[in-house]
Structure 1
């Protein structure tokens, strides 16, 4: 019976790691080179996703947005002017004048017909007939002129003018969007809910170094912590998610925190966390596992701890 009980007990393997947020620590940097203008948060501050954390000096970008907004307003005003065309009351007045002129020309034509009939019957002179013909032609010409002016005013806005004005508005909108996007990129925003763990740069320092972005803020969600631990390669095949684990170590004093393996990474790597003992090997390959406590814990991020995992 004693031998059977001893055989049922799990074997424990140990590793070493450090505490981190389950969300991992986000090292946030600006997208483009610039000078850090100001921080909008303080160490330890709780933030929501989308909150502004810091800003570069961006007076030029703000000016570019203002200019682009003015250009868009001007382009839209020009489009409205083109689409409005001629005052509708002017068109209406011209149509009335054209209608009256056509009636007057029709009356002059009928008068010419009457005088032509009278002249044929010797009741009207040749001069009267010529005068009536000239008057009818003048009335017809005036009617055609007013008709042409009415068509011109009605079709004053050409399709090509509309297209040009609409294109100018589209270009101005695109320029404004580009300027707004560039201004937005001078602000550093939180990608997740979390706690500001560190502000790295000082106001006035460059946000890029040797062509590479410099992290300005460290952010992590402290609501749920875990341990990223390294286990000797000899035990890689024995590890799997769900195994019972215990978190302990010098920084935790006498505490032993019940936990479990939440993930076993599927790639080997070189050892990065060291116990600093004389007999420790530093050239071995390790596999990383994530160990999550069974209940929430409050310890500093980056705290070095030991873990032991129960394997069959």
Structure 2
């Protein structure tokens, strides 16, 4: 039987199979060029700014007070947490308490010293009255020969000594009162209170955890005034001259471009800063500096949240 030639039969077959496989791979690896609608409607210039045009900026929703970080003034174990995220708190309302058993013991000790000092004052006052009465008896004798001059001097000095002892007791009482007041101030430092009427945005501690006073780990809560909410828009510094500064802006939440709300201009930050609010777009430039514009969102029908990313459209100057 005649053997099949590898070079004349099998090798050409392998070559043909390889060519067919390469063609199939090329067709399958071609990108899909079919036109499809985007999954999300991209942000568009609002109709109200169609004539003047818009300067587009990205931003973040923030409280009108900006975010206030709450940290303890003294280190220790968190004894109680009085609030939860979403609570509205009044100025001075307790937020949390650091374990204060040692300070309360100091208050009791200082209070006891103050009570002792009050008793010392009463005793010194009694001694002074006795000395004054005895001195009055000696000086009231009509016959100077009935008492010696030395006795009169002794009684007079006794009055002065009693008066000095009363002064010492009164000074000790004031010192004890000052120690009580100092201990109460220290106790008050163990209770962290709201600096103003705000909303609790985040609680990052629990009863029993240790609270320090150094570094970012010391931030136990975040508060902010959310009536109204503000939007901080980043505008490329190259677009600043085109802005109609002071005009309202149209704001839309990321992923909800169809719903736009009118935000009132509040202020422009005087410092140009590096861009920090990123959109994660592949074409986004991050090596730019931006002007930050602050706008107030309407309070009615609020559906924005602190930290939410938004797109903003600021009117451009009218073309001359």
Task: Give the TM-score category using the shorter length.
Answer: 0.7 to 0.9
- CA shift at 1:232, angstroms? 0.9
Map of 1:15-164 to 2, 5 A cutoff?
Answer: 15-87=57-129, 91-92=132-133, 95-96=136-137, 99=140, 102-103=142-143, 140-142=145-147, 144=149, 147-148=152-153, 150-152=155-157, 154-159=159-164, 161-164=165-168
**Deviations 1:52-88 (CA, angstroms, capped at 9, x unpaired):** 0001111111111221222223233323433443345
2-structure distance, mates of 1:84, 1:238: 86
2-structure distance, mates of 1:76, 1:294: 61
Which residue of the other structure, out of 243, 248, 254, is the alignment partner of 1:244?
A: 248
2-structure distance, mates of 1:240, 1:217: 38
**Deviations 1:27-56 (CA, angstroms, capped at 9, x unpaired):** 101012211111012222221000000011
Which region of structure 1 is more displaced relative to structure 2, 192-201 or 292-301? 292-301
Look up the match of 2:14.
none
1-structure distance, mates of 2:88, 2:132: 65
TM-score w.r.t. the length of structure 1 is 0.75
TM-score w.r.t. the length of structure 2 is 0.73
Map of 1:179-190 to 2, 5 A cutoff?
Answer: 179-190=183-194
Greater helix proportion: 1
Look up the match of 1:259.
263
Superposed CA RMSD? 2.8
In our comparison, the structure showing a higher alpha carbon Rg is 1
- CA shift at 1:251, angstroms? 4.8
CA 1:261–1:95 in structure 2 vs 1: closer, same or farther (change >3 Å)? closer
2-structure distance, mates of 1:264, 1:203: 41
Structure 2 unpaired stretches of 5+: 1-49
1-structure distance, mates of 2:94, 2:242: 45
Look up the match of 1:226.
230
- CA shift at 1:284, angstroms? 1.2
Structure 1 unpaired stretches of 5+: 1-7, 106-139
Which region of structure 1 is more displaced relative to structure 2, 64-73 or 26-35? 64-73
1:33/1:213 contact within 8 Å kept: no
CA 1:211–1:38 in structure 2 vs 1: closer, same or farther (change >3 Å)? same
CA 1:211–1:170 in structure 2 vs 1: closer, same or farther (change >3 Å)? farther
CA 1:143–1:196 in structure 2 vs 1: closer, same or farther (change >3 Å)? same
Which residue of the other structure, out of 197, 202, 206, is the alignment partner of 1:198?
A: 202
Runs of 4+ in 1 over 6 A off after TM superposition: none
Are 2:285 and 1:281 aligned?
yes
2-structure distance, mates of 1:275, 1:19: 14
- CA shift at 1:302, angstroms? 1.4
Look up the match of 2:309.
304
Which region of structure 1 is more displaced relative to structure 2, 46-55 or 56-65? 56-65
